[in-house]
Amino acid sequence: MKEDFLHYVWKFQKFDVGSLYTSNGEILHIKNQGSHNLNSGPDFFNAQIELDGQLWAGNVEIHLKSSDWYAHSHEKDSAYDNVILHVVWEHDTEIYRKDGSVIPTFILNEKIPKATIQQYQKLFSKGNKWINCENDFKDLDEFKVENWLERLYLERLQHKQEMLLQELKATQNHWESLLFRVLCKNFGLKVNGSSFFSVAKSIDFSVVKKCSHERQDLEALLMGQAGLLEGETEDWYFKTLKRRYEYLKHKFQLKNGNVIVPKFFRLRPPNFPTVRLAQFAMLYFEQPSLFSKVIAGQQIEEFYELLNVSGSEYWETHYNFGVGSLQRKKRVSKSLMDLLIINTIIPLKFCYAVQHGKDVSEEILELAAKISSEENTVLKKFNSLKKVSKSACQSQALLQLKTEYCDKNKCLECAIGGYILGSQMQSQGGSVIRN
């Protein structure tokens, strides 16, 4: 038995609430179980209970054993002076207020249905399970799952918002610069994301604006800062960009000592950093007012149109400097567009709206629902249990579920875990474990 289970049982009143008594025989009525406190101090604030007809308002503390009150030195902590009820699994000693009066104790193990405890033990049983509830996942009510996934997706956006705000602060609250940095990072995908991010951070956005009217200046700026124009080669385009970069470097006093050099190893040619930076340069050349269009856009087709760019003519026959290839437009693929919308555009729109006091939750949910689900090992595993990842909204939510709940065993904070425990309680009746 763990204390967080008792928190769950008390928070959602998952026990027989009829004919309640304290350990001293006082008649107990729970008017309000209080607000769950996840920080220091009593476990539930602002509860209301009635003891033998007397109404009490204050806090509730929960322990496995009554003696844990003293083990945790609560008798010395003034934060616990307003505790009106001590909820325990096992009552092994009386606890007292500073004035010597007994703090009423309610023993939970006499009231929790046996089915709920058995399901709890089953949920957290040891084994080689990928997630705790994988044996029950396929039987979950689809409507309840979809509703929880929507909430998880918004929770994931809130986490991303926190990271975006940290980066916004680093740009002196310059939203265009923030978009430039985050978008550049995501053009680098998983392998070169950190590298591209370091490239973007090495360039003041005012320099980008000044270079945006000349495509080759933008290419030279990005390639040069990435360290891709170092050394010598007979390739004419390399020489052209290098000359431009050396001029820009001197003019704007550019430095790239902290830039992470991008990788080519084990990448498919379309994902080479040269190709991706060329596409990124073309995007800012063709869309100098990109930020305003991102914020104003509402339909998925608008964002596909914005991101529908390809590298310059040189890159139609090259994947790297001096290495020829069959002629082919190096256009941003649909799959990359989806990733850029999921990981850059939607989080930025959400963050910008929240900072300006606007609720765009419904708009964001509709937008994400129109994008195909991502594909990775986590999502494939969820879909093998139950076909649940049908859109980007759901795939992002499932990633949030796995990393923030399943991997951390936070089943009692998860709506799915709560549903499994609750459904078992209803289906198996109200039998309880007694001493």
Note the helical H segments in 267-356: 273-286, 290-296, 300-307, 334-340, 346-355
- Look at residues 368, 382, 298, 383 and name the one whose alpha carbon lies nearest to residue 338: 368
When pLDDT is averaged across residues 170-183 and rounded to a whole number, the result is 98
Structure tokens at 339: 């990733």
Structure tokens at 153: 């997706």
pLDDT of residue 100: 84
C-alpha separations of 278 from 220, 306, 320 in Å:
9, 16, 11
Each residue of 77-92: pLDDT tens digit? 999 999 999 999 999 9
Average pLDDT over the chain, rounded to whole?
93
pLDDT of residue 419: 86
Strands (DSSP E) found in 66-138:
83-90, 105-107
DSSP 343: I
pLDDT of residue 126: 64
pLDDT of residue 427: 45
335 pLDDT band, cuts 50/70/90, is: very high
18 pLDDT band, cuts 50/70/90, is: confident
Each residue of 234-249: pLDDT tens digit? 999 999 999 999 999 9
pLDDT > 90 in the chain, percent = 82
Give the separation between CA 435 and CA 90, rounded to whole angstroms: 10
Give the separation between CA 406 and CA 1, rounded to whole angstroms: 19
433 pLDDT band, cuts 50/70/90, is: very low
Cα–Cα–Cα angle for 104, 106, 112, rounded to 5 degrees: 175
DSSP helix/strand/coil, 83: strand
Each residue of 144-157: pLDDT tens digit? 999 999 999 999 99
**pLDDT score of 355 more than 60:** yes
pLDDT of residue 120: 84
Rg of the chain in Å (alpha carbons)? 29
CA quadruple 307, 367, 184, 234: dihedral sign: negative
Each residue of 202-234: pLDDT tens digit? 999 999 999 999 999 999 999 999 999 999 999
Question: Residue with structure tokens 């970069």?
Answer: 245
When pLDDT is averaged across residues 382-404 and rounded to a whole number, the result is 96
Task: Name the percent of the chain in helix, strand, coil, to the closest 5.
Answer: 55, 10, 35
Interacting residues of 120 by C-beta distance below 8 A, sequence separation 6+? 5, 421
17 pLDDT band, cuts 50/70/90, is: confident
Each residue of 408-432: pLDDT tens digit? 989 989 999 888 887 644 444 443 3
pLDDT of residue 426: 46
Give the separation between CA 280 and CA 203, rounded to whole angstroms: 14
Each residue of 110-162: pLDDT tens digit? 788 887 888 888 888 766 789 999 988 999 999 999 999 999 999 999 999 99
Each residue of 300-324: pLDDT tens digit? 999 999 999 999 999 999 999 999 8
Q: Most distant CA pair in the chain: distance in Å?
A: 93
b/e sequence 126-144, b meaning 16+ C-beta within 10 Å: eeeeebbbbebbeebeeee
Burial class (CB in 10 A: 0-12, 13-18, 19+), 58: middle
- Work out whether strand 323-324 and strand 83-90 pair parallel, antiparallel, or are unpaired: unpaired
Q: How far is CA 19 from the centre of its chain?
A: 43
pLDDT of residue 423: 63
pLDDT > 70 in the chain, percent = 97
